[in-house]
Structure 1
Amino acid sequence: MQRKLMAWGALLAMLGVGVGAFGAHLLKPVISEEYMKVYETGVQYHLVHALGIILIALAVGQWGESTRLRWAGRLLIAGTILFSGSLYVLSISGIKVLGAITPIGGVCFIAGWLCLALEAFSRSKKAS
Structure 2
Amino acid sequence: MTQFALAAGSIYGLIGVLLGAFGAHALSSRLSADMQAIWHTAVQYQFYHAFALLAVGVLARQGLAGASLATATICFALGTLIFSGSLYVLALSGVRWLGAITPFGGALLIVAWIALLLAVVRS
Using the size of structure 1 for normalisation, the TM-score is 0.93
1:71 aligns with 2:71: yes
- Residue 25 of structure 1 is matched in structure 2 by 25
Identical columns (%) = 37
Deviations 1:36-70, CA, capped at 9 Å, x for gaps: 00110000000000000000001111234311111
Secondary structure of 2:26 counterpart: helix
One-letter amino acid of the structure 1 residue matched with residue 95 of structure 2: I
State yes or no: 1:96 paired with 2:118.
Answer: no
Counterpart CA distance in 1 for 2:53 and 2:73 is: 6
Letter in 2 for 1:23: G
* One-letter code aligned to 1:89: V
Gaps of 5+ in 2: none
When the two chains are superposed, the root-mean-square deviation of aligned CA atoms in Å is 0.8
Is the 2:82–2:104 contact (alpha carbons within 8 Å) kept by the matching residues of 1?
yes
Q: What number of residue pairs does the alignment pair up?
A: 123
1:4 corresponds in structure 2 to 4
Offset at residue 91 of structure 1 (A)? 0.6
SS state at 2:65 partner? coil
User: How far does residue 32 in structure 1 lie from its aligned partner after superposition?
Assistant: 0.2
Distance across 1 between alignment mates of 2:52 and 2:105:
15
Distance in 2 (CA, whole Å) between partners of 1:37 and 1:64 is 37
Report the counterpart of residue 82 of structure 2 in structure 1.
82
Structure 1 CA distance for aligned equivalents of residues 44 and 64 of structure 2: 29
Q: Which amino acid aligns with 1:114?
A: I
Larger Rg: 1
Residue 126 of structure 1 corresponds to none
